[in-house]
Amino acid sequence: MANNIHKTALLGPKVQLGNNVTIGPYSIIEGEVTLGDGVDIGAHCLVEGNTAIGEGCRLFTGAVIGSMPQDRKHQRTDKVFLTIGAHNVFREYVTVNPGTIEGGGKTMIGDNNLFMACCHVAHDCHIGNDCVLANYVGLSGHVTIEDRAVIGGLSGVHQYGRVGFLAMVGGCSKVNQDVPPFSLVDGNPATLRGLNIVGLKRAEIPSSSQRALHSAFKILFNSGLNRSNAILQVQNQLNGNGLPEIHRVIEFIQTSKRGIS
């Protein structure tokens, strides 16, 4: 199908469009921007820089995608990038920045994510697939969000922080340490409250794995053992069957640089 570009929209000479792209009134697309098939951009949006947006993404009113990083070390001449996968939704006034030279030069977003109104994704963030960021969530620079994570509204994640697979962060939380996979955290600072039981059920994690995760969390976070001894005990007691969920939690903890919430 032909593209549908409103007569008041402005497109730069280097912009590349896929098929069936819609661009609404007064939106500006400039720089080396690539829009995949079926991208739908609403009114008064700005997409700029070295930005690639995958097929089926939607931008609602006022979204600003690809503008300069909010980093004093960044120079306008730096060649940095923003890569966005397919079928993401950016609601009203969401802002997403590209990477910085210091951080590797690229911000990356996977597929099927929902960014609710007024979220901010800072430079050098890496976001997986099927995540939900509720209204006014702020991700600082270099943050990693793994697949299927949910972050409640008005929450903030500290620089270099990580939120693990299928984790849930409660609303108005201050996340200044890493959030383990499958966990539920909440508060200021965010504190581990237990397993994300609802998320585990929705993801159809086997009941045997859920029981093993429950036991692992008790050993890791409530036994009083130091971290290395707790991990060793979990490996000895619970990982004999090679459960991938247990392996994921242990690997996440072992690679944490900021500590665990």
Phi-psi domain of 59 (left: phi exceeds 0; alpha: psi -120 through 50; beta: other): beta
Q: Which of 134, 64, 50, 57 is nearest to 94 (CA)?
A: 64
Same domain membership, residue 205 and residue 136: no
CATH number at residue 98: 2.160.10.10
The answer to the question of residue 260 being in a domain is no
Domain count, the chain: 2
Q: Is the pLDDT of residue 238 over 90?
A: no
Residue 207 structural domain: 201-254
**0.85 surpassed by pTM:** yes
pLDDT tens for 45-98 read 999 999 999 999 999 999 999 999 999 999 999 999 999 999 999 999 999 999
CATH number at residue 217: 1.20.1180
Same domain membership, residue 129 and residue 208: no
Same domain membership, residue 135 and residue 8: yes
pLDDT tens for 112-167 read 999 999 999 999 999 999 999 999 999 999 999 999 999 999 999 999 999 999 99
Residue 86 DSSP one-character state: S
Query: Of 119, 142, 165, which marks where a domain is finished?
Result: 142
Query: Of 92, 117, 142, which marks where a domain is finished?
Result: 142
Q: Is the pLDDT of residue 241 over 80?
A: no
pLDDT tens for 16-50 read 999 999 999 999 999 999 999 999 999 999 999 99
Annotated catalytic residues are 123-124, 141
Query: Of 142, 161, 179, which marks where a domain is finished?
Result: 142
